A and B are shown apart, each in its own frame.
Chain A
Amino acid sequence: MFIDENSSNENKSDISILTRDQQILLYTIDYMIKWVKGGDHFLQIPEERTWIKELPLWAVIYYQIVKGTYETYDYAPTSIQFFGRSSFTVNLSYEGVDDIEDLRELEIIDKIRLSTSQHGFVTAYRITEYGNKLLVLIPEDVKDEVHGLFYCKHCKTHLNFLMNIGDEPEIKIDCPECDVSDFELSFLKSEDVSYISEPYFLRISKKLVG
């Protein structure tokens, strides 16, 4: 576990250091921390002690990409190991991962690594003091765009985020009120492409076993 706590960024309090996608990402991280805290698991814990885990953050980034929020992000099916055992394919945005690292380099967010009971590692993030200063400078239209995605189109209820990690993991964003759903989260389903392949026989198979 380590936290970067280096030099001050007082002289860079200008939101223009961030691209629009990075602003959306930063506001999403902040929103998710409050969202999860304000949901079923509401705890009276100071915000600075709440971290958002990497996996739900990736899932929400995917959800936002599908909804067309980001200008430059796309995603690709990526095999990751959940808590050190089975490996699952998730639709991961490497542009998002790259921007998370950029925010870290700029000391806008902190990263923490913690062990799991299955001897894997979980990465989580929180916003630094400097990041909080930048947050208030994020334009209202960016905030509105992020907010808009977390309310049900039909009944305007705030959506719920549900995560279940087991042998058959499930990550969902659901409306707690209405049955009508247009926000199926296929984060854990890899998308199919059509393709044609031919077998390629190893020419060196005898050398491998001879």
Chain B
Amino acid sequence: MSDLQSNVKDELSEILFVKNPKIFVIEWLPFDSNQLIELNHKLDIEKGSRKTLLTGLIDQSPDSPTFQSKGKHTKVVVKDYSLDNYVNLEAIIDIPEQEGIVQIEEMAIFVSKAGFVVYSLSLKEIDGKNTFMSLDKLSRVVADLSQDSSVLIDSLLTEFQRKFLKIIFGNPIHRPKTICYVGEEINIKHDDVNDYLDGEDCEIELNQLLGEGHKPYKVNNDLIFKGTRGSISIIEDFTEDKEFQMILWGIQHAIGSFVDSFMSRIWELYDQANSTKDIVEEAVEGNTEALNRVQEHITILTSTISVVGQIQEFLKESCIDVLGRCRKNDKTVLSECFDVEKSLITSQNRIAESEKIINGLLTELEGLRNYIATLSELQMRKMSKVMTQNTKSMNQVLQANTRTGGAIDMIELILAGSIILEVVAFAIGEISSDQTIFRSILDGAGLDKDQIATLTLFIVSIFAWIAIVVYLRWSKNRLERKALKDFFITMTVNKKINIQKLDDYMKDKEILTKRVEYEHNSVMITYVWDIGKDAELKDLDLEHVSFTYNETNSLLISIDIETSKVETDQKALLEIILSDMRKSGILD
């Protein structure tokens, strides 16, 4: 295929070329037996080795008979597997590229239950050149592979694993991976490996693939370059042992990279927990909006940290697994160069330390959650107190209204009398206030006809007045009964009580609320209880009764009664409650 093209905008200065390169892209993902079995089921392994098309899309319309895909698929063929231990796949990536770019991208994928995933391929041609391929061009192939491998494996992961990756990396398609290159030869072969660190062309080209600060090693005839992003091995005889040493090193490097991102995320969560404390302070200052916000923050943070804790468990187990394999590994010349154990122990220690931070964060969030709950309760109490005060104020207004109503009643009665007198006067003329009627009565001279008539009319007027007064009062009471269903009675008691007896008394009551307030050195307790189920008092026209008492000096402060009948005898009701309390031994 000599017509292979690229869209590189610059003229590359290619210095180093390697012969027949193989590329190994290695990463660590949270896997265990269950996740691997799930993956194997997704691959339809029972059906044999036929090609399966995979997609990362999720069926959002289970009721629909058809399904639309976006045209990006990966063909995979299972080569070898153990249901709960590993799977070996062949993948053909079919992702559309720009015009003129031809990528025949076929790779092998190895997934283990310990979580290491190795994408491996042998490069046959780049931009029409085979055999010796430049490191410059290899870096472009690897940039493509890194992204495509993320897309590929994404279609095989469970939603559970995708969530893990999203929490750690934000955008999981762009996540760091370890790249190991193996070539049979290199075009520039220095006798002294340090000559590759020339500070110029050679070093710069190696930096492109490995990152700055890479180190060269010479082991017999083999050249190894190890850097922060992976390794380049120039090995003429790539034996199984060398492959094992290199892959094991890549796995520990991938675990280390994941731990780096994992720790960054933990510290970020730590900062978020700290900023949550700032919002708590706002809430303490009475910002109710901040109170709602902080509750939401704590819930999201706790959930994220719990997931991070689960990832930590996966990492821990995987580290133990790889460390075990590493210790079983025979020490060879190359294994000294690819030192794995020390780095793995470092990763293991970091993972162990992260556990303390995760637990600390969870404890801190639990503390904050409890504090916020107390704060909410305090605010509710304040609201309840305000409502009680409002109710009392309303009660006072009601009583004032009642008194005003009484005064108005009197005025109404006087006016009614005046009206009657006016009516009588209109009907029969003015009733003269003739003093001779009283003089005649005093003298015992008797009354004449006119005097009797005048007196009779006066008495009739009085009776008519009384009749109207009675009628008005009756009508008014009837209207009041319709308008007012509830009525509040408050009695200030200020008497010593037996607290123990009161507690026993309240055990049998249906308590609606118990409010405890700390005022100066006193504890004020208010019980509100429902009279409905009270055997002794249920026949009375009572709704609720509340006691307020000072627990510190055993003093009953007040009794509040809510009744549904206006005409109820308030004193009698209070007396019934008080006698009930005396009977129970609460009051003397």
Are B106 and A199 in contact, CB atoms less than 8 angstroms apart? yes
Residues A85 and B120 in contact, CB atoms below 8 Å apart: no
Note all chain B residues with C-beta closer than 8 A to A191: 6-9, 140
Name the distance in Å between A12's Cβ and chain B's nearest Cβ.
Answer: 19
A65 to B, closest residue via Cβ: B10
Chain B residues contacting A85 (CB-CB under 8 Å) are 168-170, 261, 264-265, 268
A89 located at the interface, meaning its Cβ lies under 8 Å from any Cβ of chain B in the complex = yes
**Cα-based distance from A72 to B89 in the complex (angstroms):** 43
Q: Which of A97, A119, A167, A192 contacts B171 (CB 8 A)?
A: A167
User: Does B22 lie at the interface of the complex (its beta carbon under 8 Å from any beta carbon of A)?
Assistant: yes
Q: Answer whether residue A10 sits at the interface, using C-beta atoms and an 8 A cutoff.
A: no
A193 close to B (CB within 8 Å): yes
- B86 and A81 form a contact (CB under 8 A): no
Task: Judge if A42 is at the interface, Cβ distance under 8 Å.
Answer: no
A194 touches B171 (CB 8 A): no
Known: A74-B10, A85-B169, A117-B271. A197 touches B174 (CB 8 A): no
A78 an interface residue at 8 Å Cβ cutoff? yes
Would you call B112 and A119 a contact (CB within 8 A)?
no
Quick check: A195 and B125 within 8 Å, CB to CB? yes
Contacts of A55 in B (CB 8 A): none
With A79-B146, A89-B146 already in contact, the answer to whether A195 and B123 are too (CB < 8 A) is yes
Interface-forming stretch among A31-39, A44-52, A142-150, A201-209? Answer: A201-209
A151, CB-defined interface residue at 8 Å: no
Q: Mark B220-262, 1 if CB is under 8 A from A, else 0.
A: 0000000001000000000010011001100100000000010
The reply to whether the CB of B5 lies closer than 8 angstroms to some CB of chain A is: yes
Contacts of B244 in A (CB 8 A): 204, 207-208
- Name the distance in Å between B272's Cβ and chain A's nearest Cβ: 10
Q: A190-B143, A193-B141, A195-B125 are in contact. Are A201 and B88 (CB under 8 A)?
A: yes
Chain B residues with Cβ below 8 Å from A164 are none
In the complex, which residues 153-192 of chain A have their Cβ closer than 8 Å to any Cβ of chain B? Answer: 167-168, 186, 190-192
Contact B229 A74 (CB under 8 A): no
A139 CB-CB contact with B under 8 Å = no
Which residues of B1-60 are within 8 A (CB) of A? 1, 4-13, 22-24
Q: How far is the CB of B219 from chain A (nearest CB, A)?
A: 18
CB nearest neighbor in A for B266: A119
Residue of A nearest to B97 (CB): A192
How many angstroms from the CA of A117 to the CA of B200 in the assembled complex? 35
- In the bound complex, how far is the Cα of B225 from the Cα of A33, in angstroms? 37
User: Nearest Cβ distance between residue A73 and chain B, in whole angstroms?
Assistant: 8
Q: Which of A54-98 contact B (CB under 8 A)?
A: 65-66, 72, 74-79, 81, 84-89, 92, 94-95, 97-98
- In the complex, the answer to whether A202 meets B110 with C-beta atoms within 8 Å is yes
Query: In the complex, what distance in Å separates the CA atom of A192 from the CA atom of B175?
Result: 19
Which B residues are in CB contact (< 8 Å) with A194?
1, 4-6, 100-103, 125-128
Given known pairs A117-B271, A204-B247, A205-B110, the reply for A197 and B124 (CB within 8 Å) is: yes
Taking the closest CB of chain B, its distance from the CB of A205, in whole angstroms, is 5
- Given contacts A192-B97, A197-B105, whether A208 and B212 have CB atoms under 8 Å apart is no
Q: How far is the CB of A76 from chain B (nearest CB, A)?
A: 4
Instruction: Determine which residue in B168, B176, B200, B204 has the highest number of CB atoms from chain A within 10 A of its CB, and name it.
Output: B204
Other-chain contact of B126, A81, A195, A198 (Cβ < 8 Å): A195
Interface of B is mostly: mixed
Docked Cα-Cα span, A65 to B8, in Å, equals 12
One digit per residue, 1 when the CB lies within 8 angstroms of any chain A CB and 0 when it does not, for chain B 118-143 equals 10111111111000000011011111
Assess whether B144 is in contact with A190, with CB atoms less than 8 Å apart.
Answer: yes
| B98, B136, B199, B268 — most chain A CB neighbours (10 Å) | B268
In the assembled complex, the CB of B563 is this many whole angstroms from the nearest CB of chain A, namely: 62
B459 vs chain A, min Cβ distance (A) = 98
Q: Are A190 and B22 in contact (CB under 8 A)?
A: no
Contact assessment for B120 and A202 in the assembled complex, using a CB-CB cutoff below 8 Å: yes
B325 at the A interface (CB under 8 A): yes
The answer to whether B143 and A79 touch across the interface, beta carbons within 8 angstroms, is yes
Known: A85-B261, A202-B118. A208 touches B101 (CB 8 A): no
B558 close to chain A: CB less than 8 A: no
A-contacting 9-mer, from B77-85, B414-422, B426-434, B508-516: B77-85
Tell me if B140 and A72 are in contact (CB < 8 A).
no
Bound-complex Cα distance A95 to B203 (A): 10
Across the interface, which residues of A come within 8 angstroms of B469, CB to CB?
none
Binary per-residue interface labels of chain A (11-25) against chain B in the complex, 1 for a CB within 8 Å, 0 otherwise? 000000000000000
Distance (Å) between the CB of A25 and the closest chain B CB? 15
Contact A196 B136 (CB under 8 A): no
Q: Is A200 an interface residue (CB 8 A)?
A: yes
What's the minimum C-beta distance from A54 to chain B, rounded to whole angstroms?
12
Task: Decide yes or no: A94 and B207 within 8 Å by CB, A85-B169, A120-B264 being known contacts.
Answer: yes
Q: Are B176 and A118 in contact (CB under 8 A)?
A: no
- Tell me the smallest distance from the CB of A64 to a CB of chain B, in Å: 11
Report B86-99 CB contacts with A as 1/0, cut-off 8 Å.
10101100000110
Contact between A199 and B107, CB atoms less than 8 A apart: yes
Query: Do A190 and B140 touch (CB < 8 A)?
Result: yes
Write the B444-487 contact mask toward A (1 if CB under 8 angstroms, else 0).
00000000000000000000000000000000000000000000
Contacts A77-B139, A205-B110, A209-B113; A199 near B90 (Cβ below 8 A): yes
> Do the beta carbons of B124 and A198 come within 8 Å of each other?
yes
Contact status A198-B122, CB under 8 Å: yes
Contacting pair B143 A203 (CB below 8 A): no
Q: Which residue of B lies closest to A190 (CB)?
A: B143
User: What CA separation (Å) do A27 and B13 show in the bound complex?
Assistant: 24
Q: Does B108 belong to the interface (CB within 8 Å)?
A: yes
Inter-subunit contact B103/A87 (CB<8 Å): no
Chain B 200-211, CB within 8 Å of chain A: the 1/0 string? 100111011100
Q: List 7 A-B contacts (CB under 8 A).
A: A65-B10, A79-B177, A81-B261, A85-B169, A192-B97, A197-B124, A208-B325
Closest 9 CB pairs of A and B: A194-B4, A77-B143, A84-B264, A199-B108, A190-B143, A193-B6, A76-B208, A119-B267, A197-B121
